[in-house]
Amino acid sequence: MRILTLFMLMCVTHLLFFIAFHFFDGDVEHTLKKKTSFSVDIKLANRKTLAAPLFHHYKLAQQWPPTICRINPTWRCISQIPNFFTVHGLWPSNQYWPHPSRCSSSEIFVLSDIQNIGLNLNLAWPNLFGNDGRFWEDEWDKHGVCSTFIPMDYFQHTMTLWFKYNITNMLVEDGVTPGAWYTRQQIMRAIEKKTQASPDIVCRGQHLQEIHVCLDPTTATTFVACPRSTNCRTMIKF
């Protein structure tokens, strides 16, 4: 309960800052009431679509920092390791390998273009090993260039998804808290209650590493079932 309270206080503080940059329309009360809807409520009218998608779905990958740092002992993690899920990326994906990667695109990532959302990106999408900007650039160059978004919209939209559908909230609100063992089905059910679609769970050994939720390939606003590809055992350490 203490973890959920601390996390929610932090998210509310940053959410107010986030709203100030007009990612959501309307007042705060309306935004929070919409939290459990199954379609992401953001303004898309002015978003530039590059092309029709050539992939099956988007995958929003959120990683569990304690496991990421544990499995990379030769890399020095940042001093304050987040105790909540952070963004790994928003990836155009197919049902089966191969997945789109490093596509040809005229859209170039320029760090200064996303400076007005930098504080929120640092919170939601940190590089656990140091240089945030390099991490964002790598994610754009590998995955973003294959999406239907221009760079600014790619990062804004991913931020919207993270603030509205953070995995930490979904798990803790269903009684799945860090430091204990859970069945794979317990974790999946906690996510499915909020998205009404099956997630993809990634483990390293017996430890929970990432949770992915999947979205439609055109606007990335509606949850869809992820193809089953979990490598997790029946019992998982969170």
Q: What is the DSSP letter of 222?
A: B
Domain membership of residue 147 as a residue range: 2-40+54-237
Assigned domain for 45 exists: no
Q: Under a CB-based contact definition with an 8 Å cutoff, are residues 160 and 216 in contact? A: no
Burial of 237 (0-12, 13-18, 19+ CB in 10 A): middle
- What CATH code is carried by the domain that includes residue 105? 3.90.730.10
Asked, for residue 202, whether it belongs to a domain, the answer is yes
Percent of the chain with pLDDT strictly greater than 90:
63
Establish if 47 belongs to a structural domain: no
- The yes-or-no verdict on residue 30 having pLDDT over 60 is no
Residue 40 pLDDT exceeds 60? no
Q: How many domains does the chain have?
A: 1
Q: What is the pLDDT of residues 49-84, one digit of tens each?
A: 555 568 999 999 999 999 999 998 788 899 899 999
Between residues 46 and 208, the one the model is more confident about: 208
Q: Does pLDDT of 134 surpass 90?
A: yes
This model's pTM is above 0.85: no
Distance CA 75, CA 220 (A): 33
Q: Alpha-carbon distance 11 to 97, whole Å? A: 35
Evaluate whether residue 113 is within a structural domain.
yes
66 part of a folded domain: yes
Distances (CA, A) of 156 to 42, 80, 171, 207: 10, 25, 24, 30
Asked if the peptide bond before residue 98 counts as cis, ω within 30 degrees of 0, the response is yes
Structure tokens at 25: 């329309």
Identify residue 104 by its one-letter amino acid code.
S
